[in-house]
Amino acid sequence: MSTGQAGAPGAAGSLAPGREPPAAMQAAAPGALRPGGRRVGIGLGPGAADLTAPRAASALAACGDLFGYGPYLDRVPARPGQTRHVSDNRAELARARDALALAATGRAVALVSAGDAGVFAMASAVFEAVEAGPAAWRGLEIEVVPGISALLAAAARLGAPLGGDFCALSLSDNLKPWTVVASRLTAAAGAGFVLALYNPRSNARPWQLAAAFDLLRPILPASVPVVFATAISRAEERVEIATLASAGPERADMRTLVLIGTAATRQIARSGAPPWIYTPRRVAP
């Protein structure tokens, strides 16, 4: 269990005056559920503090223990009395189990994700752990607080590319075979969905995005817009607009959402600013 990194001064067990000691300070039998124990999956939004939903912010403030990938936890304002449990981005199931085990001792525990907690993120890992875990975990009060997913933040930056039917896919083949990714990609493009590709590229997965473009080129017109939306709403935000003919995978990294339009997706040129990109609502019969 990769716990114990105090994220705020006095984090480990310090109490505000007049507050009851946290239940976790009392001994608890393993797997036993204490009243009030709860765990929440919280989506932080894409990056900017004011794109974190107010409900997510107040849930975070109410939790004594925060679990998550370090860079995500760094986005949560420090509060005295909170303990931060930092873990590697890949150790999702172990992190979910650790958080549930602590919640079962009566603690209010938050598990944070970027964007929305249910979109290619921690909420599924929590329910995988609950389904396979001790029966007592089914009695936990589990709340998933929604967040603004990268696809919504990126689309809003561009105009309205998701105004028609669209499909979100993760290009990661860590948890599913590449043959499944490839068949979903070609089926969705062939059916006319705008595509939002999460996890397009990382150091560990350098070739998948180029392979995806190669699969799409026989299906879609060469002129469809391909947008590389990187670190949206953060200081290092970058938006690059290409076409399927010109798109190169090197424009993406692990902070990028790739949006691929359809033949119906339109661009409105502007002087001195990138074009608006939108997909009309109406589809010809």
**How far apart, in whole angstroms, are the C-alpha atoms of residue 24 and residue 280?**
53
First to last CA, the chain: 56
Cβ-proximal residues to 202 (8 Å cutoff; 6+ apart), any chain: 253, 254
The answer to whether the beta carbons of residues 231 and 237 sit under 8 Å apart is: yes
**How far apart, in whole angstroms, are the C-alpha atoms of residue 202 and residue 223?**
26
Q: Which of 72, 198, 213, 228 binds ligand SAH (CB under 6 A)?
A: 198
Q: Which of 52, 149, 208, 265 binds ligand SAH (CB under 6 A)?
A: 149
CB of 60 to ligand SAH, least distance (A): 16
Interface stretch with ligand SAH, choices 85-93, 103-111, 115-123, 239-247 (CB under 6 A) = 115-123
Closest CB to ligand SAH belongs to which residue?
Answer: 115
Could you give the C-alpha distances from 159 to 163, 267, 277, in angstroms and in order? 9, 9, 5
Q: Burial letters for 199-210: b for 16+ Cβ neighbours within 10 Å, e otherwise?
A: bbbbeebeebbe
| Binding of ligand SAH by 257 (CB under 6 A) | yes
Q: Which of 28, 42, 109, 150 binds ligand SAH (CB under 6 A)?
A: 150
Please name the amino acid found at residue 227: V
For residues 25 to 64, the per-residue mask of contacts with ligand SAH, x marking binding by CB under 6 A and - elsewhere, is ---------------------xx-----------------
CB of 13 to ligand SAH, least distance (A): 31
| Binding of ligand SAH by 199 (CB under 6 A) | yes
Residues at the contact surface with ligand SAH, assessed by CB under 6 A: 46-47, 113-116, 119-121, 149-150, 154, 198-200, 229-234, 254-257
